[in-house]
Amino acid sequence: MAIDWTKIYQQYKGKWVALKEDEKTVVGIGGTAKIALLRAKQAGYQDPILHRIPVVNRLYIGILP
């Protein structure tokens, strides 16, 4: 099932986010992955999923050359 990250992209453009296992709940944010991970651990989440939110959200459909 696809997860709608529209709100996450709008709110955290250009930032690193730490997500719970459900892949939609943000438990830490930061300018670097290290800061996002530290904030997640401070909030009690030891093994979050880290993801950098791009500044521009581009859709690509096709085959790479």
CA separation, residue 26 to residues 10, 30, 36 (Å): 13, 11, 10
pTM (two decimals) = 0.81
Whether residue 27 is contained in a domain is answered as yes
For the chain, report the end-to-end CA distance as a whole number of angstroms: 28
Q: CB-based contacts of 37: which residues, under 8 Å, 6+ apart?
A: 18, 28, 30, 48, 50
pLDDT of the residue at 64: 64
Residue 16 lies in domain: 11-52
Whether residue 34 is contained in a domain is answered as yes
In angstroms, what is the C-alpha Rg of the chain? 13
Here the tokens at position 40 are: 């997640």
Whether residue 30 is contained in a domain is answered as yes
Instruction: Name the domain count of the chain.
Output: 1
Whether residue 60 is contained in a domain is answered as no
Whether residue 1 is contained in a domain is answered as no
Q: What is the pLDDT of residues 26-57, one digit of tens each?
A: 999 999 999 999 999 999 999 999 999 999 87
